[in-house]
Amino acid sequence: MSRTPRVDPPPERVTVETEQVRRLVAAQFPRWADLPIRPVSDGGWDNWTFHLGDAMLARLPSAAEYALAVDKEQRWLPVLAPRLPLPVPVPLARGGPGAGYPYAWSVYRWLDGEPARADRVADPVRFAVDLAGFLAALRAVDTAGAPRPGKHNWFRGASPRAYDGQVGRALSTLAGHVDTGLAHEIWQTALAAPRDGVDTWFHGDVASGNLLLRDGELAAVIDFGTCGVGDPSCDLAVAWTLLDREGRRAFRARLAVDEAAWARGRGWALWKTLVACAQGLERADEQADARADDARRVLDEICSDYAEGG
């Protein structure tokens, strides 16, 4: 019997300063030493991201666990990019430790666009179909030798059961604040959903900040740190976290998702949503409150959709 992987608490992050990046670039890539360096606003959590001139970015993992993805991205993004219908990051160089920074890091070409939000999307159904088309193309890429679920991607592509402990703790925290009975039922439905499909490529974190828009249309997909080969249902979570009701239907139809995979995808969405809701109660800071407000909206969407048989 295989053992369910255990997901550890979030790792300890290191801080990276602009001057530190300037020293790293000067020492390892002197041809770029004169380019201006500045932090990317909303550059993400897993990596510290900096503009390197106007056309590139330096991406430095914020913890040892996130650094596990560097070699994977260096190896596989050049393979995936030409097979996908939208631009994705392709590494230009691989950096190493130095200037007090302990991990491998990467330089990428900058991809223009603004993070996808529902109020920025010009046509929700077209956006959903375009996104599903991208994921369908990703799933079609040959999987030979590709990375399987593991610590490098926080077990995306495995069963959502890897997060059963986190969901249980979140439900305990949220007792009396949300309908924990219904949420528990949805979670158990996800865990019980059978899987007999073929392993395919997945992105692993199809979320607002990793989907770029231009003129309201999907223009690029970024941050493949959690990508791999396995059960692609983790990529379905976006159906509840970002898409509206009509977009969700079009998304599911384009990907031809069966009931079991849809239930697992809903489970992935529920896991992250419950954790964000619980953090909003546990932490007294503005950022956690904002995330919790959005998570409550998503939780309502998940629960109402499930109750209606969606």
We report the CATH number of the domain holding residue 196 as: 3.90.1200.10
Summarize pLDDT for 188-245 with one digit per residue, the tens. 999 999 998 899 999 999 999 999 999 999 999 999 999 999 999 999 999 999 999 9
Domain membership flag for residue 203: yes
Q: Number of folded domains in the chain? A: 2
pLDDT at 3 over 70: no
Same domain? 135 vs 277: yes
What CATH number corresponds to the domain at position 50? 3.30.200.20
Domain membership flag for residue 64: yes
CA distances from 25 to 30, 64, 251 (A): 7, 20, 42
Summarize pLDDT for 94-125 with one digit per residue, the tens. 999 999 999 999 999 999 999 999 999 999 99
Summarize pLDDT for 127-169 with one digit per residue, the tens. 999 999 999 999 999 999 999 999 999 999 999 999 999 999 9
Q: Please report the pLDDT score of residue 43 as a whole number.
A: 80
Could you tell me the pTM of the whole model? 0.95
Same domain? 99 vs 129: no
Query: Helix (H, G, I), strand (E, B), or coil: what is residue 214?
Result: strand
Domain membership flag for residue 192: yes
Q: How far apart are CA 129 and CA 124, in angstroms?
A: 9
Same domain? 125 vs 219: yes
Range of the domain at 85: 18-110
Same domain? 39 vs 164: no
Domain membership flag for residue 34: yes
Domain membership flag for residue 80: yes
| Better-predicted residue by pLDDT, 41 or 176 | 176
pLDDT at 287 over 90: no
pLDDT at 2 over 70: no
Summarize pLDDT for 59-94 with one digit per residue, the tens. 999 999 999 999 999 999 999 999 999 999 999 999
Instruction: Out of 82-86, 88-92, 266-270, 289-293, pick the least confident.
Output: 289-293
Identify the domain boundary among 64, 89, 110.
Answer: 110
The structure tokens 């989907």 sit at 211
Q: Please report the pLDDT score of residue 1 as a whole number.
A: 34
H helices of the chain, in order, are 18-28, 64-67, 69-80, 124-139, 164-174, 180-192, 238-241, 245-255, 259-282, 286-307
pLDDT at 274 over 90: yes
Domain membership flag for residue 7: no
Q: 241 Cβ partners below 8 Å, 6+ apart?
A: 207, 208, 269, 272, 273, 298
Same domain? 170 vs 123: yes
